[in-house]
Amino acid sequence: MCLGMRIVPNLGDSPEFLPQILFEKPDVDWEKSIIRAYGRTYEGVRVTPRPLVSEIELPRPAVAKRQGRPPVGDKIREVVRDLGAKGQLDGLSRKEQEHLVRSQARERYPQHFPKESQPSRTKILESLRAEGLS
C-alpha cells in the first residue's frame, strides 16, 4: 500500500492511494519521498501495510510559488498617469514618450526594472493606450 499527496498535475485535497500503474516506470526519490510517473508527481510518499494506513500523517506540500515575473502593468500606468497629468508627455514623439516613461519607471521602481531595456516597448505602449495617450 502506498500513500502520497498529489502535487502534479494539480494539487490534491488529501493523501491518495497511488495507482499501481505508477510503479511500472517510476522516477523515485526515496530520500525526499517523491514519486514521478506518467505526468503525475506525489510528495510525502509512504509505503505501509494496509492496517496502518489510517495512522499515517503525511506532510502537506509547500504552497507553490507563483512562477514568472510579477505583473508590472499597474506600475507603468502609474508613471504614465503622473507624467500625463503634469503635461510632460504632451508634444513628444512616441519614441520620446517611450524613453521618458522607461527612465521614470526605472527610477521609481528599480527592483522591477533592473535592465536598461525594461519596461519593454510593448508594455509602455499598452500603458499609454490604456491612459488614452496614444
> Does 49 share its domain with 86?
no
Which amino acid does the sequence have at 127?
Answer: S
24 in a structural domain: yes
Same-domain check for residues 77 and 122: yes
Whether residue 46 lies inside any domain: the answer is yes
- Yes or no: say if 125 and 134 are a contact pair by the CB < 8 Å rule: yes
Q: Does residue 72 contact residue 122 with C-beta atoms inside 8 Å?
A: no
Q: Is residue 102 situated within a structural domain?
A: yes
Closest by CA position to 77, among listed 35, 123, 15 = 123
| Overall number of domains in the chain | 2
CB-based contacts of 81, cutoff 8 Å, min separation 6: 131
* Enclosing domain of residue 12: 2-55
Q: Is residue 112 part of a domain?
A: yes
What is the structure's pLDDT at 8? 84
Helix, strand, coil shares of the chain as percentages rounded to 5? Answer: 35, 20, 45
b/e burial code for range 18-33 (CB count within 10 A of at least 16 → b) = beeebeeebeeeeeeb
Q: What is the pLDDT of residue 99?
A: 94
Q: Which residues of the chain have pLDDT under 50?
A: none
50 shares its domain with 78: no
Is residue 14 within 8 Å of residue 54, measured between CB atoms? Answer: no
- How confident is the model at residue 58, as a pLDDT? 62
| Residue 79 maps to a domain | yes
Look at the block and give the residue holding cell 502537506. 60
Tell me what pLDDT residue 56 has. 59
Which residues lie below 8 Å from residue 76, measured CB to CB, with a gap of 6+? 101, 105, 119, 123, 124, 126, 127
| Residue 61 resides in a domain | no
Does 40 share its domain with 86? no
Last residue of a domain, which of 12, 27, 55?
55
